[in-house]
Structure 1
Amino acid sequence: MSSLIIGDDGLKRPSWAAQDPQMREYYDTEWGMPIREEQALFERISLEAFQSGLSWAIILRKRENFRAAFANFDPELIARFTDTDIDRLMNDAGIVRYNRKILATINNAKATLQLREKGGLVDFVWSFKPIETPQPQSLEEIPTQSPESVALSKALKKEGFSFVGPTTMFALMEAIGIVDTHLMGSHRRGSSGVWV
């Protein structure tokens, strides 16, 4: 059974990207495209952590609020956040106010700066790119984690990161093009240039 829906523009998208205009725009322009810049990658890691247990649509709707609250996800600035910043964030109704995730973001900013001594966050994360990518015909065939996402999770935790479990890291790998889980037949399949 195919999980693709043909939109009013004639293009095939998965059901999660076919209804909501913001999710459709995200799917058509961002999801699965390579991110190879530290600040943008740190933002994605942070947002994936906040998404844990919630829907991506919630995070996407709040993304501009997150950017404003977290200094546009500049790890150098976030690494210097104080208790005053934590209080400010816990009182910011525009973001997901979950203390452990806020603390994890600050902690992960510090870990990102430390990783610069080992080549940086981008090269570190991309070093877990698998030899091949899934070729799902339906949403049910898309894995929720992989040996590489398990390994990435363990490696990031060893470097001091938190809220980077294997399922969250697989979602990150999908979002930034390390794997291509666009359904076969989707108009976006292969669009990243990473996988042909």
Structure 2
Amino acid sequence: MTTGRSRKERLRAEGKVRRDTVQDRSLKSHTIQQKVLARPEVTSAKTILLYLSIRSEVTTDLLRDTWLADEGMQLVVPICRGPILTLFALNSMEELSRGSFGIPEPAPSLASLPERQVNPEALDVMIMPGLVFDPQGNRIGYGKGHFDRLLEQARPDVFKIGLAFEDQIVPHLEPESHDIPLDLILTEKSSYE
């Protein structure tokens, strides 16, 4: 008998393999980012949380650079400090270096400045990665629960977006009682809302 945890671990492993073997990754990432930039929920937002892509994730460089250049937009990036993600108001790429898990992060001295920390309730939009998604807005992440805990702290009306390659979409995931579904999943081929 397969337990929920072992099924999730199997899906996680399969999702990582599918994501790692995506062809034309750069072109597909660009298409996905263009879709994000066209969304009215995004164009009207003032404060956006964006993951900074690593490894085989959907690249977020275009989004990052666009929003850093937009004076009317506050770009917020997550910082992994133990089991909790803290949020940092990013003003330029020069503020970043490689941190936990190889993820670009600000230096601890800069990240600890109170004026640069962001409360999750201030977010209008959250953009997050994952390994597996379904059309109903469910996601499986890396298994640490970082974004799950962050979603619990955000306002109920925050617009939640997952970025994925079409190969990462499965017909149905079994969400757990604490899982909060996303409002939108964007792939190079589809928009799941």
TM-score bracket, normalised by the shorter chain, equals under 0.3
Structure (1 or 2) with the greater strand fraction: 2
More RCO (CA 8 Å, sep 6+): 1
- Give the TM-score of the pair, scaled to structure 1: 0.28
**Is the radius of gyration larger for structure 1 or structure 2?**
1
Structure (1 or 2) with the greater helix fraction: 1
